[in-house]
Amino acid sequence: MKLLSSLSVFLKVIVPATIGLAVLIAIIAALSGMFTEKIQPGRSGDLAGSTAAGNSETDVVHEIVQPYVAEAIGTLRAAARTDVSAQVAARILEIRVKAGDRVEVGDVLIRLDPSEFDAALAEAEAAVAEAEASARAAQQDYDRMAELLKQNAIAKAQYDAADRTLRASQAQLEQTRQAVARAKVRLGYTVIDAPQAGTIVDTLAEPGEIASPGRPLLTLYDLTSLRLEVPVMENLAGKIKPGDTLQVQIDALDNRQFEATVDEIVPQAQAASRSFLVKLRLPKIDGAYEGMFGRLKVPVGERRHLCLNQQAVQTIGQLTFVDVVRNDDTLERRMVKLGRVGMPGRVEVISGLEPNERVLLRPIASNEK
């Protein structure tokens, strides 16, 4: 009875489970391709091997050597940039320029209220007139005492007193004259001129406000002094030295490229970015302004890549392939990986082909389909 019971369990449980496991293993093996013929990666076996190239048009895969450049991104800055501020505290009467105006050296930019300084100048000039009168009187007294001393009509002490009075009056006169000069200078500060030729970037004050020494009122820079300031990674900065001529691209000017000269390399790396600040002098560029975005192109060596005629490329779904012409004039379908498009009608090959291999060209109409 025990034997029959064990046999019954075996037939009802173990055998079906074993069969189910075997079926599951077979399904997994089939899905993984165990029962299909293997094809070497990157090739399609004999898919086209039986087809002869014949007189079909072919082309050769070329190896191209081109200079390789790395890009560094920077900003246009003006080397000659000036903040215009007042030398004296006064109310602003007039600002004669606005942002974007072009100015030359000596052009009047701002006028301040001169009334306080006019009064100070008038007071200083009055003090000069009084000092001059005192000096004349002291001179006359000194001359009289000198003549009396010659006649032994006065004591030497009286002469010395007149001499001291004359010298003091002359010193007082000189002080008042210097006060007039200072008052004129301070009055001149009420008219603020352009210290250099350039373009007004921004106005930082309005008429009626009080200007104080050191507070910027206007900002201007010279467009001819524009430089591209670029943080360059330390591994690239070693390939650059002052005086080098490099290519600079300004995207806002239709991606135009210009030759720039390396003016300065700041001899200190920025610890956070591991880069050196490189400053390049630009030529005069119409339409270029401070703050624009620029790209510095740094040559770092040569780059080799394969160049393929685009007419040889065929695409099915997401698969890209070409037909390679073997030595026996048969075709081998080859999976390829493509890169960037280069010269018209040519594309970079990343993998799947070798230099000097022949490929079959397809009619343009069939490729377009």
Residues 140-186 have pLDDT tens digits of: 999 999 989 888 888 899 999 999 999 999 999 999 999 999 999 99
Q: What is the pTM of this model?
A: 0.56
pLDDT tens profile 34-80: 666 655 554 444 444 445 556 778 888 888 887 778 899 999 998 88
Question: Would you kindly state where each structural domain of the chain is located, as residue ranges?
Answer: 58-66+304-368, 71-80+223-301, 82-107+195-221, 114-189
**Cβ contacts of residue 21 below 8 Å, gap of 6+?**
none
Q: What is the DSSP letter of 223?
A: G
Token pair 């610890």 is found at 271
Residue entry with tokens 């100048």 = 121
Residue 177 neighbours by CB under 8 Å, 6+ apart = 128, 131
pLDDT at 12: 66
53-58, Cβ contacts within 8 angstroms, sequence gap of 24 or more: 53/325, 53/329, 53/330, 53/331, 53/358, 53/360, 54/329, 56/360, 56/361, 57/360, 57/361, 58/325, 58/358, 58/359, 58/360, 58/361
* Topology agreement, domain 71-80+223-301 and domain 114-189: no
* Residue 232 one-letter amino acid: V
Alpha-carbon gap, residue 311 to 145, rounded angstroms? 117
Mean pLDDT across 191-213: 92
Question: 213: which DSSP letter?
Answer: B
State residue 51's pLDDT score: 58
Share of the chain above pLDDT 90, in %: 46
Query: Is residue 85's pLDDT more than 80?
Result: yes
Residue count of the chain: 369
Q: Which of 81, 95, 180, 167 is nearest to 129 (CA)?
A: 180
Using the predicted structure, report yes or no on whether residue 366 has a pLDDT greater than 50.
no
Task: Give the pLDDT of residue 367.
Answer: 43
Q: Per-residue pLDDT for 188 more than 80? A: yes
Of 165-179, 226-240, 293-307, the range with the highest mean pLDDT is: 165-179
Q: Provide the mean pLDDT of the chain.
A: 85
At 269-289, the pLDDT tens digits run 888 888 999 999 999 888 888
The residue with greater pLDDT, 7 or 139, is 139
The token pair that represents 164 in the structure block:
């001291």
Phi, psi for residue 11 in degrees, rounded to 5: -70, -35
The residue that leads in pLDDT, 277 or 340, is: 277
* Dmax (CA) of the chain: 173
Choose among 237, 246, 239: nearest CA to 270. Answer: 237
Q: Per the structure block, which two tokens stand in for 108? A: 């009047």
82-107+195-221 belongs to CATH 2.40.50.100: yes
Which of the four pLDDT bands, split at 50, 70 and 90, describes residue 106?
A: very high
Query: What type of residue is 17?
Result: A
Provide mean pLDDT across the span 332-342: 86
Q: How far apart are alpha carbons 308 and 327 in whole angstroms?
A: 19
Domain 71-80+223-301: give its CATH architecture.
Beta Barrel (2.40)
Confidence category of residue 26, pLDDT binned at 50, 70, 90:
confident
Query: Could you tell me how far CA 214 lies from the centroid of its own chain?
Result: 29
Q: Per CATH, the architecture of 114-189 is what?
A: Orthogonal Bundle (1.10)
What is the pLDDT confidence band of residue 132, given thresholds at 50, 70 and 90? very high
Q: What's the number of CA atoms in the CB half-sphere (13 Å) around residue 315? A: 9
Q: Of the candidates 97, 108, 74, 82, which has an alpha carbon nearest to the alpha carbon of residue 225?
A: 82
Strand partners, 265: 278
CATH 2.40.420.20 given to domain 58-66+304-368 = yes
